[in-house]
Structure 1
């Protein structure tokens, strides 16, 4: 089967959220399964420094009265062909933002359609989020190219129909009010990145105004995976001490090193919670700010947060860290190596998300032996199970309601459980033995592709 992935982000070349990890990890697995898989993305100004060789120019096309170029290379570390859409709008060293964001990605989607029509025709175009939402609309008139539309985050829906009418060709049959709705309505198959989120977006609470359309279509829910070769504490070069589930005692050296690195009081027995991610409301930062100081005052725990986001949350976390020297560290930056040291050095990992389509951080935390503390929503429901110390089952600590008291109680329960070292060790081992590799997800994506009429036997 010939599959073309179209996305605004692809790891490791351009990454902001989980979409980049999916598009960077899934195609190599599908290629190993024997499929002809290729990726197309914008040629951002941040990409050249991340490539070992200059991409080869292969084709020139026209979209929205603009000339664009297609360059070819391979995704770093793989043998997957990568096409880069070259245009002046993508030259700045940024992925999102700017007054022209809607125009840039609509032009990118148009370029992908022209490329598929005129240069390399796939059996299916796998589109990701609103940036590629117009591709299924345009491909709706083509019978020999199927489309799959994956929803990573329904909250971002792209430009409205009236703006699309001004900048590009909108077919007479299109009656969707924005690009996200267009991708959902006209794709041959729609999926999202966890079974629970697929159910939740069919309700008014999580549907972002599209719950009626989604409940009618009944999207597939296919859980994301992680690259178990890349996310591996036994080989991770960012760590002070490598370890595995068989050598879990060696993990303690990473905790001590992290405490020293971040200016925390060095004490191996102190319960240390880590948090890595975007500092935005979706990730539960409003809950955290309401409970963190009380939690630090009540317990002897330490807390580390790493990430960037909204200025209000950044400044509030800085102030709390200043009031609790040696107990809390706020690292307001993006640092991939440090994030791995947080996973490897923390005893527990906090994800109190308001909503979470899938989430990759909790999967990495499980892999590294950091016990997740999560709210039961979206993919967190599908990946973290409730810890029962009597039955010795479960992989983490969970709370249901999006309320400060519920989160606080869950964090205290984790702190108290940490005292029981034997049970905690078994809890870590269960998490590290969980299998969240991409292979199972890749098999389900192949089933999804082949469920499209005409592709059953391709």
Structure 2
């Protein structure tokens, strides 16, 4: 089986969100199952130090531009990596440029040319999000099966009519933006959790594509993401002051105490420490916190640490909370990979109250590291976090359903009450840490899907 992943992001090379984590870890799991899997990625300027072939493995043209493809490898693996080189990718920005639609269309069209001209002949082309959504359309006449994965339906790309000024887009696509084109013309559509696959077929979550998605029937499948449990392992994580695992959970408190000292908070193992590691955007549910900060802080002993950046409104919200409660709240409005690992490994509770969440990686890392997640019951959060039942000792976290501040506040108080019962809380942590969060099962489902598609070629 030969599979080519095509994506704008890939951990650990180019990461903005969860898309990168999937593209950087699912191929590793597929390779263990015997798949010849490779990845195509723009050759961003910040990848200049990445070892690669001295000469291009392919040179050609697309959209009246001359391009080169170099071969490298996904770090610490044997996964071949095709780097699409052009001055448009030479800066240090992945998203946000004015020519974003042109850049990613150039990238996708180059991959199409690479396949058409015999650069490599995959049996399955696995495309991700709107940046590569035109590839299934261009592959219609090729003996290549296409899988299109929706990581976040909210980001669908610009109107398709504008693309015709610089690339061939047939008028019989039946689509009005790149994501719609990917849905219509791919051989199979996947999204990143079973619950999200159901949700996006409803008007509430469908982002005006719900009717199109309902019409796909069995072509749409939800396959839950996993995480790279080798790289994300509290027993070996170099950023943790003290390594631990499920068999040595008692050592974890040392990470909490070290984190409290680092943050300048009261060093006290009996104060619940709440961690937030997130992009600060509407999707993540932080508008629920704005009206309840004072009620929560005045009726709780919890400490809070926030790490992330994004919408200026939410940065202002968390900065203001840190100023009003300087002894209990800390806000770091930036990306910091090392600090995020220390938060996962030291916080008691991990807060992720998303309005919607296709899958979510944060709650799975939190479970792996013994930070009990408190999440909204939506998308992949509902598929990975199960409500704590202290009587039957079931569940691995806390969930609320209705998207309103009162529901979140009630669950914050409930979790802090549960934290008082140390033995129960440790067993709750262990249930999360012992869950299988790897890609093993999901990679097998993708392999089955690939096999069904390739069988159609004959």
Q: TM-score band (shorter)?
A: over 0.9
Residue 112, structure 1, aligned to residue 111, structure 2: yes
- Following TM superposition, by how much is the alpha carbon of 1:370 offset from its aligned partner in structure 2, in angstroms? 0.4
Equivalent residue number for residue 65 of structure 1: 64
Equivalent residue number for residue 40 of structure 2: 40
Contact 1:130–1:158 (CA under 8 A) maintained in structure 2 = yes
For residue 321 of structure 2, give the secondary structure of its aligned residue in structure 1. helix
Contact 2:53–2:70 (CA under 8 A) maintained in structure 1 = no
Equivalent residue number for residue 333 of structure 1: 334
Contact 2:127–2:149 (CA under 8 A) maintained in structure 1 = yes
Contact 2:196–2:380 (CA under 8 A) maintained in structure 1 = yes
Contact 2:123–2:454 (CA under 8 A) maintained in structure 1 = no
Q: Which runs of 5+ in 1 are unaligned?
A: none
Equivalent residue number for residue 154 of structure 2: 155
For residue 321 of structure 1, give the secondary structure of its aligned residue in structure 2. helix
For residue 340 of structure 2, give the secondary structure of its aligned residue in structure 1. helix
Residue 234, structure 1, aligned to residue 232, structure 2: no
Give per-residue Cα distances to partners, 1:138-178, cap 9 Å, x unaligned. 11122x10000000000011121210111210124212001
Equivalent residue number for residue 122 of structure 1: 122
- Distance in 2 (CA, whole Å) between partners of 1:425 and 1:454 is 48
- Distance in 2 (CA, whole Å) between partners of 1:323 and 1:54 is 54
Contact 1:9–1:15 (CA under 8 A) maintained in structure 2 = yes
Residue 133, structure 1, aligned to residue 133, structure 2: yes
Contact 1:279–1:309 (CA under 8 A) maintained in structure 2 = yes
Equivalent residue number for residue 102 of structure 1: 101
Equivalent residue number for residue 7 of structure 1: 7
1:19-38 equivalent positions in 2, closer than 5 A:
19-38=19-38
Q: Which runs of 5+ in 2 are unaligned?
A: none
Give per-residue Cα distances to partners, 1:304-341, cap 9 Å, x unaligned. 11011111211221111011112011011111111010
Contact 1:450–1:456 (CA under 8 A) maintained in structure 2 = no
Equivalent residue number for residue 16 of structure 1: 16
Residue 216, structure 1, aligned to residue 215, structure 2: yes
- Following TM superposition, by how much is the alpha carbon of 1:54 offset from its aligned partner in structure 2, in angstroms? 6.1
Contact 2:52–2:70 (CA under 8 A) maintained in structure 1 = no
- Distance in 2 (CA, whole Å) between partners of 1:245 and 1:123 is 41
For residue 289 of structure 2, give the secondary structure of its aligned residue in structure 1. helix
- Distance in 2 (CA, whole Å) between partners of 1:74 and 1:56 is 15
Normalised by the size of structure 1, how large is the TM-score? 0.97
Normalised by the size of structure 2, how large is the TM-score? 0.97
Give per-residue Cα distances to partners, 1:253-278, cap 9 Å, x unaligned. 10011111111111111011101010
- Distance in 1 (CA, whole Å) between partners of 2:51 and 2:239 is 22
- Distance in 1 (CA, whole Å) between partners of 2:106 and 2:174 is 20
Equivalent residue number for residue 384 of structure 1: 385
Give per-residue Cα distances to partners, 1:9-65, cap 9 Å, x unaligned. 00100000001010000112211211111100100111123x245664211121111
- Distance in 2 (CA, whole Å) between partners of 1:140 and 1:296 is 57
- Distance in 2 (CA, whole Å) between partners of 1:128 and 1:282 is 20
For residue 175 of structure 1, give the secondary structure of its aligned residue in structure 2. coil
For residue 452 of structure 1, give the secondary structure of its aligned residue in structure 2. helix
- Distance in 2 (CA, whole Å) between partners of 1:400 and 1:437 is 26
Residue 444, structure 1, aligned to residue 445, structure 2: yes
- Distance in 2 (CA, whole Å) between partners of 1:234 and 1:389 is 27
Q: Say if 1:447 and 1:53 are closer, same or farther in 2 by CA, change over 3 A.
A: closer
Equivalent residue number for residue 411 of structure 1: 412
For residue 429 of structure 1, give the secondary structure of its aligned residue in structure 2. helix
Consecutive aligned runs of 4 or more in structure 1 exceeding 4 Å deviation: 52-56
Contact 1:371–1:396 (CA under 8 A) maintained in structure 2 = yes
For residue 59 of structure 2, give the secondary structure of its aligned residue in structure 1. strand
For residue 339 of structure 1, give the secondary structure of its aligned residue in structure 2. helix
- Distance in 2 (CA, whole Å) between partners of 1:19 and 1:221 is 15
- Following TM superposition, by how much is the alpha carbon of 1:456 offset from its aligned partner in structure 2, in angstroms? 8.0
For residue 115 of structure 1, give the secondary structure of its aligned residue in structure 2. helix
- Following TM superposition, by how much is the alpha carbon of 1:394 offset from its aligned partner in structure 2, in angstroms? 0.3
- Distance in 2 (CA, whole Å) between partners of 1:246 and 1:55 is 47
Contact 1:274–1:305 (CA under 8 A) maintained in structure 2 = yes
- Following TM superposition, by how much is the alpha carbon of 1:354 offset from its aligned partner in structure 2, in angstroms? 0.5
- Distance in 2 (CA, whole Å) between partners of 1:38 and 1:209 is 33
